[in-house]
Amino acid sequence: MSKLRLLFVKEAQASYISHLDLIRTFQRAFPRTELEIKHTQGYHPHPIMSIVLPLPVGQSSDCELLDFEVTQESDGAGIAETLNTGMPLGLRVLECYAASRPIRELTDLRADVELEYDGGVPAGGVDALRQLFARDSLVIEKRTKRKDLAEVDIAPMIHSAILTEADGIIRADVTVQAQNPGLNPQLLGKAIERYLPELTPDFIRVRRKAILDAEGRDFR
């Protein structure tokens, strides 16, 4: 029995595949490999498979992880290539390897957040946003799992934000807290809307670039 981990890219069309559909997509791809996924032992057995930090629908990522268990001994060699023969566009497995590090050591994620301004970036916009993201407190309204609204201070969860400007876009290279609780970088837009409504972008595009441990190294 082995615990394995996939590192995969989710982008373009595939960025619209929901979490549950993504699991189904992987379930259908696994029979291509020789691997026998371990199933739960209950009345309705289902494969033991979990996606670490599910990506919000519409966002892209270079560094998604999927953990699963197989009944054989395997180091995952050749699995990525085989899985890729059955993937939809925009979904690409980069690596399959033995999962050794526990997920709790994944603490940060780095993302590219593109703030699009159809009428061009307002003058002084970048500086204003730099100051905004450097504040000690940024309270936004966030929908909780119970579907009601709650006030959350996201400032402590923003670990760094480097802002640059190019062709009607402000690009924020941000590092945020990954879990317990994690911050969806999309919510930076909410903060802008609340504190600097005149700088509210027309569209926000998010791409996860890296997942990091507490020392700032790539988590694998």
Contacting residues toward another protein, per CB under 8 A: 12-14, 16-18, 20-21, 24-25, 27-32, 44-45, 57-58, 86-90, 202-203, 205
Nearer to another protein, 156 or 203 (CB): 203
Minimum CB separation of residue 20 from another protein in Å reads: 8
Nearer to another protein, 76 or 201 (CB): 201
Minimum CB separation of residue 21 from another protein in Å reads: 5
Nearer to another protein, 87 or 154 (CB): 87
Residue 179: closest CA among 147, 140, 214: 214
CA dihedral 143, 149, 153, 158 (to 10 degrees): 10
- Cβ atoms < 10 Å from Cβ of 26: 22
Minimum CB separation of residue 127 from another protein in Å reads: 27
Minimum CB separation of residue 107 from another protein in Å reads: 28
Nearer to another protein, 106 or 201 (CB): 201
CA distance 40 to 37: 10
Nearer to another protein, 24 or 135 (CB): 24
- Whether the link from the prior residue into 181 is cis, omega within 30° of 0, is yes
The DSSP secondary structure of 102-117, one letter per residue, reads -GGGEEEEEEEEEEE-
Minimum CB separation of residue 219 from another protein in Å reads: 27
Cross-strand partners of 218: 212
